[in-house]
């Protein structure tokens, strides 16, 4: 249902990006490069996929993506605002049309009552604004990483297909 | 054969890294984040895996990894020297003990007589030097990306297991 027969989700995203003459860069924490790998699996993907940053350590989020250290302290690394800053940071850092940021708790450890294992925030930024989505996924580490990759690609596909300037919601 | 029963290759690498109190960062081109994703698939991997950079576009290699633009011009993005500079660049950029760089031609296009599809250079750098390995892989894009990921992880495992300062070969 992404478009033509046998087209994969990353393939469908690349078709839309190339039609729209837009590029994308990724900033991943919990998925550790899986979204970049999926985007890079498509032949010819280098036309629209510029690259990405896997920011496992908080220092990488701060130093390379420009995430505010005080915001990580205040809201935690797994939060809507950090996902937004990751998306905006990687978009600017790689001079891409779109940036995708994802941060979550893949487990098995690291979960709390307020932020359980499987909580994932995804953000997509363009030059106008940033949209976000909260996921609560079940399963083991492998399942959470795989499901959050698929969910983030689905969110990206919807967002690119809409082809409208993004509008940041007031929170 | 990596160590204890049922241990995966990335799992075995993390056990060694943690025993040696060393950390790693990755710089990937042709594998597009697959090596980072494999390293990040291991529970507790954030102790030794700091993160990585997926440098699909040459501008990302130059701007984020500090690869010399003249060297890309001279030797090509798929070359031993660029793999070395990617490994050294990401090691320094993320303040890791070890850096892994990989650049290759996953195809289906982009191959030449001298540099056919399936040619991949892997480099591993520490503070002392940098070791490299040339791969020539067969198969379609998916197979080349998957095989180069496995081969790079195998090379990393051998290198970490040796636990010796790396020595750059004179070329």
Q: Average pLDDT of B72-96?
A: 98
pLDDT at residue number A26: 98
Residues within 8 A of A (CB atoms), B 91-110 only: 93-95, 107-109
Cβ-proximal residues to A111 (8 Å cutoff; 6+ apart), any chain: A105, A117, A118, A119
With 90 as the cut, is the pLDDT of residue B52 above it? yes
Residue B156, chain A, CB below 8 Å: the answer is no
How many interface pairs between A and B have CB atoms less than 8 angstroms apart?
Answer: 124
Question: What is the pLDDT at residue A95?
Answer: 97
Average pLDDT over residues A1-7: 54
User: Over 90: is that where the pLDDT of A169 sits?
Assistant: no
pLDDT of residue A6: 55
Radius of gyration in angstroms for the set of CA atoms belonging to chain A, rounded to a whole number: 15
Give the chain B residue nearest A38 (alpha carbons): B32
**With an 8 Å Cβ cutoff, is B132 touching chain A?**
no
Which residue, among A23, A29, A36, A61, would best test binding to B if mutated, counting the most B CBs under 10 Å from its CB? A36
Relative to beta strand B24-28, strand B49-55 is parallel
Per-residue DSSP letters for A106-143? -SSS---SSS-TTEEEEEEE-SS-EEEEEEE--S-HHH
Q: Are A61 and A36 in contact (CB under 8 A)?
A: no
Q: Shortest CB distance from A60 goes to which of B34, B50, B54?
A: B50
Does B138 lie at the interface with A, CB-CB under 8 angstroms? no
Nearest Cα residue to B89 out of B142, B141, B52: B52
Residue A56 is nearest to which of B33, B51, B145, comparing CB atoms? B51
Give the one of A34, A46, A55 whose C-beta lies nearest to B51's C-beta. Answer: A55
pLDDT at B6: 55
Residue A29 class from Cβ within 10 Å (0-12 exposed, 13-18 middle, 19+ buried)?
Answer: buried
For position A37, what pLDDT does the model report? 98
What number is the average pLDDT over the span B46-65? 96
What is the pLDDT, as a whole number, of residue B89?
Answer: 98
Report the C-alpha gap between B22 and B19 in whole angstroms.
8
pLDDT band at B161 (very low <50, low <70, confident <90, very high): very high
Helices (H), B41-140: 58-63, 69-75, 80-93
- List pLDDT tens digits, range A101-130: 999 999 999 999 999 999 999 999 999 999
**Residue contact A41–B141, C-beta within 8 A:** yes
pLDDT digits (tens, 9 = 90+) for A77-89: 999 999 999 999 9
Using CA coordinates, name the residue in chain B closest to A26: B54
Asked if B121 contacts B96 with a C-beta cutoff of 8 angstroms, the reply is no
Q: Is the pLDDT of residue B1 over 90?
A: no
Q: What is the pLDDT of residue A171?
A: 63
pLDDT in tens, A35-93: 999 999 999 999 999 999 999 999 999 999 999 999 999 999 999 999 999 999 999 99
């Amino acid at each position: 249902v992404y478009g033509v027969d046998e087209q994969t989700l990353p393939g469908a995203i690349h078709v839309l990006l190339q039609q729209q003459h837009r590029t994308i860069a990724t900033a991943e924490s919990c998925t550790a490069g899986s979204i970049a790998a999926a985007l890079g699996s498509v032949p010819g993907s280098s036309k629209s996929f510029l690259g990405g940053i896997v920011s496992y350590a908080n220092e990488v989020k701060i130093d390379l993506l420009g995430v505010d250290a005080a915001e990580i302290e205040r809201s935690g690394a797994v939060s809507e605002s950090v996902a937004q800053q990751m998306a905006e940071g990687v978009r600017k850092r790689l001079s891409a049309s779109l940036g995708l940021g994802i941060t979550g708790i893949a487990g098995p450890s690291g979960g709390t009552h307020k932020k359980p294992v499987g909580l994932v925030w995804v953000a997509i930024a363009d030059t106008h604004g940033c949209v976000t989505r909260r996921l609560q996924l079940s399963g083991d580490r492998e399942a959470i990483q795989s499901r959050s990759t698929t969910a983030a690609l689905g969110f990206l596909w919807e967002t690119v297909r809409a082809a409208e300037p993004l509008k940041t919601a007031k929170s």
